[in-house]
Structure 1
């Protein structure tokens, strides 16, 4: 998913959280460009540093603010460069720390999802590819390989024998020197990396086997099952009615003691972030 869309969604969820606390904030469309750029920078930081904790992210933000002349102030003032969060992380209000956990959890949840327009284009091209293969099957009595419509992609890494995609969510495995034909939208993503080269159909005939389509379908099914599992776990967390039950859940599943006197919603946000970061345990 594009960085700007991730930022808009993460920001909007934080706005909703603020509204639940009686703190009205500007919508994403009405927010100043400076705020949007700051949110996008935070998203980019988490994408590039997926193991970074909210506390470490705050330290980076604090360092940047101080280098640019910002100081602590009870209210945020762009003109005078004051901000109420210019504090060590352990001195921030629990509400702010909960927002930081929500922000990271949202990014982790949606970063690998395709943009709506890309998803529709990809679906259309996969349908076209599958139809081409089915047509070839009908017109050929003995067919071991089927010429496909798409872009030829070959993995050419100098030392690695194979590569399995986790970046773009296809789950495809590429063998070095083997050419496969992919829908153009997917192919162009891989061709943006030096480990892949484009194979011109005029110079070398490229084929795609049924296994590629089967692997994509299997990957999508597994992802849906995993998403359902995470969704059910989160719903169970939301259904917990006492702070002790959430603390016991975090301790039992993720071996972390929560000693702070946080609100129930804040503890639930921490538990949900654990599920997104480490999966259902």
Structure 2
């Protein structure tokens, strides 16, 4: 799911860049599945080869196009599978090479984005953790190290006393030398760094936290995302009820700074405005 998300963002930025040059492209939602798979393949290539050059990125794109039956053509034609950029990288004009630079920059920027699937797994494990704690409290049994569900993680940086997690979205604060019990999927992320060590269940260490804080942070994040989705939905509905082309053009100009001179249909102008909302948010 993470690759699909990065692909959608990279593609939408490319659509916006093309629009700035007067080259209107289909939005991600309306793009054919074959195009989406090609973009996702490009994202996977960059994630697996972080030091790849833009020229190598273009060569990988050419390979994908060739495998799917695309050939060179003066205009991009989805039906006939022709594309003017099916050329050696050195023969591309500078504005077309810029697309490869943009694509690489976006993927490198978002490569550490948490995978949405991880949140689902994390939530599931947190429910199990919380239920075990509740069951333990009801039976008046003391929660021992052997009864703790999860993996012990200890922060051991040599100079810093605490670590604030802004990388994986948990919002946790780790104190030096203090053991924190985390769901396995979350613990493994931190244990990939040398500043953390695993604490085995048989160590005589009282865990500092059985992680309700992570659950609260995720719930808050999900609430904020739903609120943002509601704002975007309302904005798109407002665009859809605009009844004149001038009104839509003025909206695009005032919100996103783009002045559209072409004599387009009202529906086409609304589609451009909606795509800008998806790409840049509500401004």
Distance 2:276 2:194 in 1: 35
Q: How much does 1:251 deviate?
A: 3.5
Q: Counterparts of 1:229-240 in structure 2 under 5 Å?
A: 229-240=231-242
Structure 1's 181 and 271: CA in aligned 2 closer, same or farther, altered over 3 A? farther
2:219 matched to which residue of 1?
217
2:174 matched to which residue of 1?
175
2:58 matched to which residue of 1?
64
Give 5+ residue unaligned stretches, structure 1: 19-24, 50-59, 92-96
SS of 2:206's equivalent? coil
1:41 matched to which residue of 2?
42
Q: How much does 1:150 deviate?
A: 0.9
1:208 matched to which residue of 2?
209
2:22 matched to which residue of 1?
none
**Alignment root-mean-square deviation, CA:** 5.0
TM-score (norm 2): 0.57
Q: How much does 1:133 deviate?
A: 2.0
Query: Are 1:191 and 2:191 counterparts?
Result: yes
Tell whether the 8 Å contact from 2:236 to 2:274 is kept in structure 1 after alignment.
yes
- Bigger Cα displacement from structure 2, 205-214 vs 131-140: 205-214
TM-score (norm 1): 0.57
Q: Counterparts of 1:46-195 in structure 2 under 5 Å?
A: 64=58, 73-74=73-74, 83-85=83-85, 114-115=116-117, 118=118, 120-140=120-140, 148-157=148-157, 158-159=159-160, 161-165=162-166, 167-168=167-168, 170-177=169-176, 178-195=178-195
Give 5+ residue unaligned stretches, structure 2: 12-25, 87-91
Q: How much does 1:234 deviate?
A: 3.1
Q: How much does 1:131 deviate?
A: 0.3
Structure 1's 247 and 163: CA in aligned 2 closer, same or farther, altered over 3 A? farther
Distance 1:131 1:211 in 2: 15
Structure 1's 84 and 222: CA in aligned 2 closer, same or farther, altered over 3 A? same
